[in-house]
């Protein structure tokens, strides 16, 4: 939606006041006026201002209508959405989940599941077993067989004495 760059209520107030002042003859009997470098007859200026006033009033009326429509949506939208969902479910239930006419109602038919072949089933079983091993998951029977054992306290083992290695022999220089 386009953003409004102008303060419509303020401009509408100003333009209405200008039109009222010009129509009341408050300029002391002038018949022409210089506006923005152009000389206007008062009646022509009032006509141009009235066109602008009509445009601004249309924007104000549209904004008021939009605000009322949004409020109406906020008040009744949940009920309408519920009615739509229930209607879609009822139509799908009446026709069946695979009916060819469902797209005409904007409803996608249920997907048909293709049965797995024997090699696909074997692969699936292997994948499930590998996943259970990788995640260390167990069934309830396997969990029931696992019992924690607290190790008996034993005296701490004596640390072995460090052994010193003999220093490496320095290379011997010969000759020269």
pLDDT band at 101 (very low <50, low <70, confident <90, very high): very high
Buried b (16+ CB within 10 A) or exposed e, 106-127: ebeeeeeeeeeeeeeeeeeeee
Domain of 16 in residue numbering reads as 8-105
Question: Is residue 81 included in any domain, yes or no?
Answer: yes
Please say if the pLDDT value at position 141 is more than 80.
yes
Q: What is the pLDDT of residues 56-77, one digit of tens each?
A: 999 999 999 999 999 999 999 9
Q: Is there a domain that residue 160 lies in?
A: no
Q: Tell me whether residue 1 is in a domain.
A: no
Tokens 């000759």 — which residue?
175
Model confidence pTM above 0.85? no
Residue with more model confidence, 139 or 101: 101
Count of domains observed in the chain:
1
Q: Would residue 122 count as lying in a domain?
A: no
């Amino acid at each position: 939606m386009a953003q409004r760059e102008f303060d419509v209520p303020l401009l509408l107030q100003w333009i209405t006041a200008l039109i009222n002042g010009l129509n009341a003859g408050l300029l002391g009997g002038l018949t022409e006026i210089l506006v923005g470098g152009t000389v206007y007859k008062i009646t022509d200026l009032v006509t141009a201002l009235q066109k602008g006033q009509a445009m601004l009033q249309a924007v104000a009326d549209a904004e008021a209508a939009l605000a009322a429509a949004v409020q109406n949506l906020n008040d009744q939208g949940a009920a309408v959405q519920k009615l739509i969902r229930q209607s879609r479910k009822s139509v799908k239930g009446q026709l069946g989940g695979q009916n060819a006419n469902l797209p005409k109602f904007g409803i996608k038919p249920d997907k048909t599941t293709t049965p797995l072949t024997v090699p696909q089933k074997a692969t699936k079983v292997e994948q499930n077993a590998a996943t259970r091993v990788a995640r260390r998951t167990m069934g309830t029977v396997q969990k029931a067989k696992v019992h924690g054992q607290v190790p008996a306290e034993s005296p701490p083992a004596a640390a072995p004495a460090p052994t010193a290695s003999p220093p490496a022999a320095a290379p011997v220089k010969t000759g020269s």
